[in-house]
Amino acid sequence: MVKVLAILYDGGVHAEQQPKLLGTTENALGLRPYCEKNGIELVVTSDKEGPESAFNKHIVDADVLITTPFHPGYLTRELIATAKNLKLAITAGVGSDHVDLDAANERKITVAEVTGSNVVSVAEHVLMTILVLVRNFVPAHDQIREGGWEVAAVAKGEYDLENKVVGTLGAGRIGYRVLQRLKPFDCKELLYFDYTELPADAAKEVGARRVEDLKDFLSQCDIVTLNCPLHEGTKGIINKETLSYMKQGAWLVNTARGALCVAEDVAEAVNSGKLAGYGGDVWPKQPAPADHCWRKMANPLTGGGNAMVPHMSGTSLDAQIRYANGAITILDNWRNGKPQTPSDLITIDGAYATKAYGQRAATK
């Protein structure tokens, strides 16, 4: 009998109020009826940390792991060594860095995700976060809720997006959609930094210029948005040194992965005013600890400059339907020996199936 282990976040009362919360342990991506119908043993849990967790216990004889980036079951090399039966790791969403992909390749574990399922959801969140930061929205809204009215206190940190230079680090599905959505704002220039060049017609459509050197790229931008996967070539790519290349008072938005940034360096840049603000929804380890330095960091001039939220951009209710259905399709393909959609594959047969997780000779 096939055993599927699903690591998801708990919905609690919210799952009762909102049945569309498919990515919760309560609704389990719609897996329960599918597994019942097909004689599959299904274990669903949110308990994922430490040697005594349900994750560590059940991974030992699971054939398939399904998890989401929002509450990731971190499939480390050590855990893979205990997972004797594991053949398939499905990401219900986009971004499979919670899996040690090299270790998965060594064991020929297929890693697949629901490519494209939430890229519009994230691109919309990026646009919102850019505007929230540039227009200094958060302190202004706090002022209203607290009964105040002091226009100058918030206008002193409020700018227009128009005529700013905006750059995306990573111009794949999300990065390109961000550029498309920025176009009507009449920015001074749209830039991108990516080892994969955009097709000429796509770059022309949004009016984006490629910058090949990271320092050159960062130093030209008023606003930088991070939209690349987390891998050994991007971990900590935003750090004390690279932050020093950025303009004084620039804004940084990260909805890609928290560990792209050295957390303390970003907090210091915000707290010192080097960055006018930082916002996003991704944290180095999730759930983020209550005392994480990104929770309370603030720009010294405005008291704002912090647009952090829990990992939510890619888990809109619209996205949940897409990644829930996509995860079941990947499981169904695997059970029936059907080929997977090529763009959903991250690793297969012991090799990387995508160029997005770093430039490697072994990439198929």
Interacting residues toward ligand NAD by CB under 6 A: 93-95, 118-119, 122, 169-175, 193-196, 227-230, 233-234, 255-257, 281-282, 311, 313-314, 356
Could you tell me the smallest distance in angstroms from the CB atom of residue 198 to ligand NAD?
Answer: 8
Could you tell me the smallest distance in angstroms from the CB atom of residue 236 to ligand NAD?
Answer: 12
What angle separates helix 173-182 from helix 119-134, to the nearest 10 degrees? 50
Which tokens is 16 given? 């009762």
Active-site pick, 105, 220, 254, 286: 286
Choose between 194 and 265: whose C-beta lies nearer to ligand NAD. Answer: 194
Known binder of ligand: residue 328?
A: no
Q: Is 311 a catalytic residue?
A: yes
Listed in sequence order, the residues at least 6 apart from 86 whose beta carbon sits closer than 8 Å to its beta carbon are: 59, 62, 63, 64, 65, 80, 107, 109
Contact 145, 171 (CB under 8 A): no
* The total number of residues written for the chain in this structure: 364
Known binder of ligand: residue 314?
A: yes
Known binder of ligand: residue 316?
A: no
Question: Among residues 111, 132, 94, which one has the least CA distance to residue 316?
Answer: 94
Known binder of ligand: residue 311?
A: yes
Could you tell me the smallest distance in angstroms from the CB atom of residue 330 to ligand NAD?
Answer: 16
Judging by beta carbons within 10 Å of its beta carbon (0-12, 13-18, 19+), is residue 103 exposed, middle or buried? Answer: middle
Q: Is 118 a catalytic residue?
A: yes
Could you tell me the smallest distance in angstroms from the CB atom of residue 40 to ligand NAD?
Answer: 27
- 3 state DSSP class of 127: helix
In this structure, which amino acid lies at residue 254? Answer: N
Could you tell me the smallest distance in angstroms from the CB atom of residue 260 to ligand NAD?
Answer: 8
Which tokens is 299 given? 């720009």
Known binder of ligand: residue 60?
A: no
Active-site pick, 71, 125, 177, 257: 257
In this structure, which amino acid lies at residue 306? Answer: N
Choose between 237 and 275: whose C-beta lies nearer to ligand NAD. Answer: 237
Rounded CA Rg of the chain: 21
Choose between 26 and 194: whose C-beta lies nearer to ligand NAD. Answer: 194
Choose between 53 and 329: whose C-beta lies nearer to ligand NAD. Answer: 329
What does the H/E/C string look like for 294-314?
HHHCCCCCCCCCEEECCCCHH
Could you tell me the smallest distance in angstroms from the CB atom of residue 84 to ligand NAD?
Answer: 28
Torsions phi, psi for 149 (to 5 deg): -160, 95
Choose between 256 and 328: whose C-beta lies nearer to ligand NAD. Answer: 256
- 3 state DSSP class of 31: helix
DSSP state of 256: S
Known binder of ligand: residue 161?
A: no
Q: Which residue is nearest to ligand NAD (CB)?
A: 172
Choose between 34 and 70: whose C-beta lies nearer to ligand NAD. Answer: 70
In whole angstroms, give the CA distance from residue 121 to residue 281: 12
Known binder of ligand: residue 181?
A: no
Binding site, annotated residues for substrate: 94, 118
Residues taking part in catalysis: 118, 257, 286, 311
Binding site, annotated residues for NAD(+): 173-174, 194, 229-233, 255, 281, 311-314
